[in-house]
Structures are given as C-alpha cells and as structure tokens.
Amino acid sequence: MRSTFSHALVKAAMNDPKIVLLTGDHGYALFDDFCKTVPGQFINAGIAEQNMVGMAAGLAKAGFKPVVYGLSAFVPVRVLEQIKIDVCYENLPVVFIGDGAGLVYSSLGSSHQSTEDIAVLRAIPHMRILSPGDTFEMAYAMEHALAFQAPLYLRMGKSDLGDVHHAPLTAQLGDLVPAHQGTPGRLALLATGSMLGRAMQLSQQLGNCPVWSAPSIKPINHSQVAALTREVAHLVVLEEHAEVGGLGGLVAEIVAGQAGQRAQVIRCGIMDRFSEKCGSYNYLITEHGLDVPTLLTKIRIATGMVS
C-alpha cells in the first residue's frame, strides 16, 4: 500500500506544481522518488508537527495543495488543535497522511501506537476520514484525497497484508464495498483497514459469510449501512482501533437511529486500555484480542453459535 501511495503522490505532483508535500522529519526512503522528481515541492518541516500544520494551512490559503505526512500518533493526534482551528475551521483542502496507524509501531510502545485517531477526528466538522485496506483501496483513497475538496485524513495501517480486491474500486466516496460475496445468512462482517484480511479469514470459518469493507469512515453511506443491518441478524465490525469512537461505534449510532428491527452490532476492536507490553506486531494483535482464533471465539459466543 505504501508504494501505491507514493506512486500516486509523485504522479499527481508531476502534473500539478501546486501540490506540496510536508513531513515532520519522517518518511525517509518512502519519499526518495518524490524528492528526486519534484524536489521543489518537498518541505521537511522538522520535528515541529504543530508548526507544520500551520504552514500547510497558510499554503492552502495561498492556493497550494498541501499533503501533510507523519506517524499517526503525531498526525493527527499531536496536532489535533491545529487541525481543528487552522484547517477545519476554515475548511481548507489539506490532506493529512497518518502512517503506522493502529499497533504497527508495536515495539516503540504506546507513545507511537495510534488507536484513537478515527475517534478524535470524527467529531471535527468538515474532516473526511479514509481507511484503506489494500492497494486497490489505497488507489481509491488517493484519488479522492488528491481532489483536494476538503480537509481529509488518510489512515495507513499495516501495509504488507496482501490484496483482498481483484480490480479497481468504482464506489462513490462513503460507500461500503463488497469484499467477499459469501453465502447470505444471519451473519455479515464489516471491516476497515488492516482488519479486512482477517475478516476474509474469519468468513471461511463462519460459514462463508459475506464480507464488506469500509474504506471511507467519514463520510459513510448511512442508507447502505442501515440496509445491511436489516438483512442480517448479526453484523460484526472489525477495526484496528479503539472500540470507543471507531467504525463500530459509528455503525451502532446509525443503527440506533433507525426504526424497526436491526442487527445486533458486535464491535471487535481495541478495548479501553493501553498495550501492556512491547513486542512484535503479531504479538500485540494477539494481546489485544484481534487475532483470528480470539475473534472467532468472541463472535461465536456473541452470536450464540456456542454456549
């Protein structure tokens, strides 16, 4: 996914000299091609992320198209006030890239793990939030991001988990995307970001149930979500993000606002706690109960498949 992101950014910058990439001393080899191809459109703002967002806002007001890159623990979490006031208050077309979202920087501890970025940005007006799960979804996300129509946050999680889709996405911004048709029944899975691959694994062990992806968190197609929750008895939402304020919470809010019978929403994310230990990415996925065996047990108990 990172190479898809990089190639799309370089191509766009070659075609539009107004596109400017800002980084807070992060990225390194990821931006080698960008620096070689369009060096005049690259700014290393140093370890001063809050100032960097202010610079991006000023550039946007001057007619440029800023792309702000950082680790998601810093962009957006460290610079939340600047995103709110400098960018979103004036609805400026600045793109924020949060790399290493979720538990990716596992060995660096909780200071570098970002499990609340969706939650904190969902409440800010004008902000759009995209969360691609494979290279096809990244291409979709970059197409919408580089349109520079509003403040936008693109969340990059674990990037080497393989593709799920087999062709470019044609969905409108906000639509849920079918990832696996499966066998329609009482259960469906809805995943975002890095959890999309695990949703595909879970489907095979849960009776080949359908899998949907949410590459866009905000906006999201409320009518489509509501329709999905009318078709099944149980909707499992999977995300490498806190259960509080994430995609699962958003789906539950939509369901709560609908009349009539709706599916049980089963949220599978990170509980209300920090990581207890450092370790590999796979270790922390297991510690937080997002590994396939633990999720399988949780879903079976929640849906009554086992007593």
Span 92-137, pLDDT tens digits: 999 999 999 999 999 999 999 999 999 999 999 999 999 999 999 9
Tell me the Ramachandran region of residue 270: left when phi exceeds 0, alpha when psi lies from -120 to 50, beta otherwise. beta
Band of residue 152 on the pLDDT scale cut at 50, 70, 90: very high
- On whether residue 164 sits in a domain, the answer given is no
pLDDT digits over 262-301, tens only?
A: 899 999 999 999 999 989 999 999 999 999 999 999 999 9
State whether 182 and 96 are in the same domain. Answer: no
State whether 144 and 202 are in the same domain. Answer: no
State whether 276 and 146 are in the same domain. Answer: no
State whether 276 and 202 are in the same domain. Answer: yes
26/210: higher pLDDT: 210
Alpha-carbon span 156 to 101, nearest angstrom: 6
Band of residue 56 on the pLDDT scale cut at 50, 70, 90: very high
- On whether residue 291 sits in a domain, the answer given is yes
pLDDT digits over 170-223, tens only?
A: 999 999 999 999 999 999 999 999 999 999 999 999 999 999 999 999 999 999
Beginning with the edge strand found earlier in the chain, give each strand of the sheet holding 216-218 in spatial order. Answer: 42-44, 19-23, 65-71, 95-99, 152-156, 128-130, 216-218
State whether 43 and 88 are in the same domain. Answer: yes
State whether 137 and 243 are in the same domain. Answer: no
Single out the residue in 109, 125, 156 at which a domain terminates: 156
Q: Based on the structure, what is the number of domains in the chain?
A: 2
Single out the residue in 121, 156, 191 at which a domain terminates: 156
pLDDT of amino acid 303? 95
Statement: residue 140 has pLDDT above 70 = yes
Band of residue 28 on the pLDDT scale cut at 50, 70, 90: confident
State whether 17 and 125 are in the same domain. Answer: yes
Beginning with the edge strand found earlier in the chain, give each strand of the sheet holding 187-191 in spatial order. Answer: 177-180, 211-213, 187-191, 234-242, 264-270
Range of the domain at 85: 2-156
State whether 104 and 197 are in the same domain. Answer: no
Residues of the chain with pLDDT > 70: what percent?
Answer: 99
- On whether residue 258 sits in a domain, the answer given is yes
- On whether residue 167 sits in a domain, the answer given is no
- On whether residue 206 sits in a domain, the answer given is yes
CATH assignment of the domain containing 209: 3.40.50.920
- On whether residue 30 sits in a domain, the answer given is yes
State whether 33 and 144 are in the same domain. Answer: yes
Instruction: Indicate the pTM of the whole model.
Output: 0.96
Closest CA to 120 of 77, 154, 163, 89: 77
State whether 111 and 223 are in the same domain. Answer: no
pLDDT of amino acid 45? 95
State whether 116 and 222 are in the same domain. Answer: no
Closest CA to 66 of 48, 45, 47, 37: 45
With a CB cutoff of 8 Å and minimum separation 6, the contacts of 19 are 9, 12, 13, 41, 64, 65, 67, 146
State whether 128 and 183 are in the same domain. Answer: no
Alpha-carbon span 33 to 37, nearest angstrom: 6
CATH assignment of the domain containing 93: 3.40.50.970
